[in-house]
Amino acid sequence: MKFHILTFGCQMNVHDSQWLTSALESRGWEQAPEDEAQVYILNTCSVREKPEQKVYTELGRIAVHLKRDPDIIAAVGGCVGQQVGTGFFNRFPFVKLVFGTDGIANAPDALERLVEGAQERIALLDFVDIYPEREVPCRDVRVEQKSRQAFVNIMQGCDNFCTYCVVPFTRGRQKSRHPEQVLEECRTLVKGGVREITLLGQNVNSFGLDKGGVGVTFAQLLYRVAEIPGLDRLRFTTSHPKDIAPEVIRAFGELDNLCPSLHLPMQAGSDDVLRRMGRKYDSKRYVEIVDGLRAARPNLALTTDLIVAFPGETEEDFEQTMEMVEKVGFESSFSFKYSDRPGVAALKMKPKIAPDVAAERLMRLQNLQNDITRKCLKKLVGTEDDVLVEGKSRKQDEGGFWWRGRDAAGRVVNFRFEGDRDLEGLMVPVRIVEAKKHSLVGKRTGDPW
């Protein structure tokens, strides 16, 4: 069976799609280009308005392939799958499976039943209390991937109910995975050649603080994963500032293979907006956390998420976000205009901000961020680091190949290497010689390892 997966949204979705791909491949299915597939899988995101509309557009596009093969079927998973659910069956009759993030564990079997004609339609939308362990695919593509980087889920769902966020509704309550399962998966990956692991969850810092918890905290898990021999780089995402424990901050000073980068969504700089967002920290607390992190690891690269034009955001509130962005000096940020999501508390908050005001604020914020990003990258010229190579650069010229990889903090670094040796998955020591707008240029200083 030939299948094609389209993925939208966060890293958790990217990872879910990777797992689904390997689970289907271990059943003898084959990935295919879009115009050859018999089964289409859409792994969707509904965190903001636009990505949801994208799903409808994509399904409209896929429907065109029915002319080529009337037996084509589609599955919609992820957050929009969970939210719209069986609504897809009426609107797009070739959609035969809908699944949410708890249901994904059973999606490969469901797809098999559908193509065998054993069932007409399947909905996997129930939420569960305990993390649904997934089968380990016989051919784990993540281990095979030459890039030698892997994601490992440690939890699913979120209990925070920030007032703008749809995630607690689409991914359900927080459920932590058993720490031994996490450790076993990490050990297997490292044995298989993986050098870099990213621990994933909606709110990793509250790992273990739910029904699935067994008394192991996130900090304890972090220390145990970090000690796996052969693991060169460890990252984790995403962190809620209110839950980051002093032990996790200390870990940045103590664990050599814990990478010097942290994504710490701030969302807003105004205490009033933060309170109405239900974030449970204020700007002072956020700065204290940042100071603690930088004391533990001075070269830590901080990145963040920001929302502009939250209901009721005044010009003054917005200015406070700008001030905080400047004060903290985020190396980069993702920034979004607030968008109403179904069922969230902010839906009823007023006044909504006019779209032109929201667009103007977003532009000002992004201009400021670009300036700060440029300054941060410039400061790195002359420093040395290892780059984990991901592949060849897009641009090539004469005299060896240009390769693209990431430094320990996750920044993209391009560098030239004489000869035609395949470097993918190797670490190459470089010195940074130039800063581009969003990436760095390095010069090799030692041998690949």
Are the CB atoms for 271 and 314 separated by under 8 Å? Answer: no
CA distances from 204 to 151, 194, 244, 442 (A): 13, 21, 9, 33
According to the binding rule CB under 6 A, does residue 305 interact with ligand 5AD? yes
Map the footprint of ligand SF4 across residues 141-170, applying CB under 6 A. 158, 160-162, 165, 167-168
Left (φ > 0), alpha (ψ -120 to 50) or beta: where does 78 sit? Answer: left
Q: Cβ neighbours of residue 254 under 8 Å, at least 6 residues apart?
A: none
CB nearer ligand SF4, residue 160 or residue 217:
160
Start-to-end CA span in the chain (Å)? 39
Could you tell me if 235 and 196 are in contact, meaning their C-beta atoms sit under 8 angstroms apart?
yes
Q: Is the peptide bond before 351 cis (omega within 30 degrees of 0)?
A: yes
- Between residues 281 and 415, which has the closer beta carbon with respect to ligand SF4? 281
Output the six-digit token pair for 126: 């129930």
Provide CB contacts within 8 A for 109, sequence distance 6+: none
Q: Is residue 77 classed exposed, middle or buried when 0-12, 13-18 and 19+ CB atoms within 10 A define those classes?
A: buried
Q: How far is the CB of 31 from ligand SF4 (least distance, A)?
A: 30
Nearer to ligand SF4, 62 or 162 (CB): 162
Q: How far is the CB of 174 from ligand SF4 (least distance, A)?
A: 9
Q: Which residue is nearest to ligand 5AD (CB)?
A: 305
Identity of the residue, 137 or 265, whose beta carbon is nearer to ligand 5AD in the bound complex: 265
CB of 364 to ligand SF4, least distance (A): 23
What amino acid is encoded at 344 in this protein?
A: V
| Residue 338 interacting with ligand 5AD (CB under 6 A) | yes
The 33-52 site mask, x for binding ligand SF4 (CB under 6 A), equals --------------------
Measure CA 267 to chain center. Answer: 17
Count of positions on this chain that bind ligand 5AD (CB under 6 A): 12
Q: Kindly state whether residue 164 participates in binding ligand 5AD, applying the rule CB under 6 A.
A: yes
**Interacting residue with ligand 5AD among 3, 99, 336, 417 (CB under 6 A):** 336
Mention every residue, 6+ apart, whose C-beta is less than 8 A from residue 287.
324, 327, 328
Considering the complex, what minimum distance in angstroms separates the CB of residue 167 from ligand SF4?
4
β strands within 19-121, DSSP E:
30-31, 39-44, 73-77, 95-99
Question: Smallest distance from the beta carbon of 269 to ligand SF4, in angstroms?
Answer: 16
Task: Please report how close the Cβ of residue 164 comes to ligand SF4 at its closest, in angstroms.
Answer: 7
| Total interface residues for ligand SF4 by CB under 6 A | 10
Q: Which of 240, 263, 337, 361 binds ligand SF4 (CB under 6 A)?
A: 240
B/e letters for 293-313, b = 16+ CB within 10 Å, e = fewer, are bbebbeebbbbbebbbbbbbb
221 backbone dihedrals φ, ψ, rounded to 5°: -60, -45
Among 27, 48, 178, 187, binds ligand 5AD (CB under 6 A): 48
| From candidates 170, 202, 261, 304, binder to ligand SF4 by CB under 6 A | 202
Q: Which stretch binds ligand 5AD (CB under 6 A): 51-59, 142-150, 247-255, 332-340?
A: 332-340
Q: Does 203 bind ligand SF4 (CB under 6 A)?
A: yes
What's the CA gap between 117 and 108, in Å, rounded?
14
Selection from ligand SF4, ligand 5AD, none that 158 binds (CB < 5 to 8 A by kind) is ligand SF4
Taking CB under 6 A as the binding criterion, the range among 75-83, 192-200, 253-261, 334-342 that sits at the site for ligand 5AD is 334-342
328 binds, among ligand 5AD, ligand SF4, none (CB under 5 to 8 A by kind): none
**Of how many residues is the chain composed?**
449
CB of 348 to ligand SF4, least distance (A): 17
Beta bridge partners of 441: 414, 434
99 binds, among ligand SF4, ligand 5AD, none (CB under 5 to 8 A by kind): none
Distance CA 164, CA 291 (A): 27
Site for ligand 5AD in 348-407 (CB under 6 A): none
Under a CB-based contact definition with an 8 Å cutoff, are residues 173 and 53 in contact? no
Indicate the angle between helix axes 11-25 and 107-115, nearest 10 degrees: 50
Specify which residues 307 forms β-bridges with: 336
- Interacting residue with ligand 5AD among 17, 261, 267, 393 (CB under 6 A): 267
In sequence order, which residues have a C-beta less than 8 Å from that of residue 136 and are 6 or more positions away? 185, 188
Confirm or reject binding of residue 174 to ligand SF4 (CB under 6 A): no
Residues that bind ligand 5AD (CB under 6 A): 47-48, 164-165, 265, 267, 305, 307, 336, 338-339, 341
Residues that bind ligand SF4 (CB under 6 A): 158, 160-162, 165, 167-168, 202-203, 240
